[in-house]
């Protein structure tokens, strides 16, 4: 019997470097019982600075937001010693934008710069490319969030636009950058 042929049109998996998950960290699907840990993450000042979270996020608000995506949502958490240290989601749009997904993510303030964001984003790019065949993955990031922008560029995202006074952050309007990655784009190591 002949081996099944690999019919992946872009062969993008072969072109993507594999990032190791940092030692001691597990990446898995988010579960309802993670709501408390995810809320604790969202209430950290650094996490809030880089995301659109408001202060005093409640566990019930987390529950409402997290599990409304159905089959169009992949939600991941990074766990170290039973503590949730990172969170990332990929949401797929519908209808004429069903080839597009959007990413949101954040790492615990005390665990940034350890490769966890790279591992989470790499896992979501795998899903986008190889399991959903998304043509386009997009995101918005505060224009002064250099660490995040560098991570996204490394994973093949490119800047598309500047969104002026995009959001209020601690009493100041801040600009954001819209970025997107088209399937098959190069990922830089």
Ligand X SMILES: CC(C)(COP(=O)(O)OP(=O)(O)OC[C@H]1O[C@@H](n2cnc3c(N)ncnc32)[C@H](O)[C@@H]1OP(=O)(O)O)[C@@H](O)C(=O)NCCC(=O)NCCS
Instruction: Rule CB under 6 A: say whether 79 interacts with ligand X.
Output: no
Q: Which residue has the tokens 């809320």?
A: 39
> Given the structure tokens 């969202």, which residue do they identify?
42
**Closest CA relative to residue 144, chosen from 118, 170, 183, 180:** 170
**107 contacts ligand X (rule: CB under 6 A):** yes
- For residue 40, state whether it binds ligand X (rule: CB under 6 A): no
Among 118, 126, 127, 169, binds ligand X (CB under 6 A): 118
Interaction of residue 55 with ligand X, rule CB under 6 A:
no
Q: Does residue 102 touch ligand X according to CB under 6 A?
A: no
Residues 99 and 72: their CA atoms lie apart, in Å, by 11
Please state the closest distance from residue 53 (CB atom) to ligand X, in A. 9
Among residues 11, 19, 10, the alpha carbon closest in space to that of 154 is found at 19
- Least spacing, CB of residue 28 vs ligand X, in Å: 17
Tell whether residue 51 is a contact of ligand X (CB under 6 A).
yes
113 CB contacts (<8 Å, ≥6 apart)?
147
In the complex, the smallest distance separating the C-beta of residue 78 from ligand X, rounded to whole angstroms, is 8
User: Residue holding tokens 């089959």?
Assistant: 71
In angstroms, rounded to a whole number, what is the distance separating the alpha carbons of residues 84 and 81? 8
Cα gap 107→26, rounded to integer Å? 14
> Which of 38, 74, 105, 124 contacts ligand X by CB under 6 A?
105
Instruction: Give the list of residues 6+ apart from residue 10 with CB closer than 8 angstroms, or none.
Output: 129, 183, 184
Query: What is the total count of residues that contact ligand X (CB under 6 A)?
Result: 22
Window of 54-62, 65-73, 110-118, 126-134 that interacts with ligand X by CB under 6 A = 110-118
By CB under 6 A, residue 112 contacts ligand X: yes
Residue 115 vs 184, nearer CB to ligand X: 115
Residue with tokens 């934008």: 97
Contact flags string 142-161 toward ligand X, x per CB under 6 A: ---x-xx-xx--x-------
Residues that bind ligand X (CB under 6 A): 22, 46-47, 50-51, 105-107, 112-118, 141, 145, 147-148, 150-151, 154
């Amino acid at each position: 019997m002949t081996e099944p042929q690999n019919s992946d049109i872009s062969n993008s998996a072969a072109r993507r470097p594999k990032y190791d998950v940092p030692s001691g960290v597990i990446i898995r699907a988010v579960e309802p019982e993670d709501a408390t840990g995810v809320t604790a993450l969202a209430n950290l000042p650094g996490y809030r600075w880089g995301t659109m979270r408001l202060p005093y996020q409640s566990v019930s608000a987390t529950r409402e937001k997290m599990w409304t995506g159905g089959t169009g949502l992949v939600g991941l958490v990074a766990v170290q010693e039973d503590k949730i240290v990172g969170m990332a989601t990929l949401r797929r749009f519908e209808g004429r934008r069903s080839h597009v997904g959007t990413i949101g993510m954040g790492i615990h303030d005390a665990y940034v710069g350890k490769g966890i964001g790279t591992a989470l984003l790499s896992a979501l790019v795998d899903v986008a490319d190889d399991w959903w065949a998304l043509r386009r993955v997009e995101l918005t990031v505060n224009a002064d969030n250099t660490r995040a922008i560098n991570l996204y560029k490394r994973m093949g995202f490119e800047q598309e636009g500047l969104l002026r006074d995009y959001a209020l952050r601690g009493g100041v309007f801040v600009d954001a950058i819209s970025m997107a990655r088209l399937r098959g784009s190069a990922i830089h190591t």
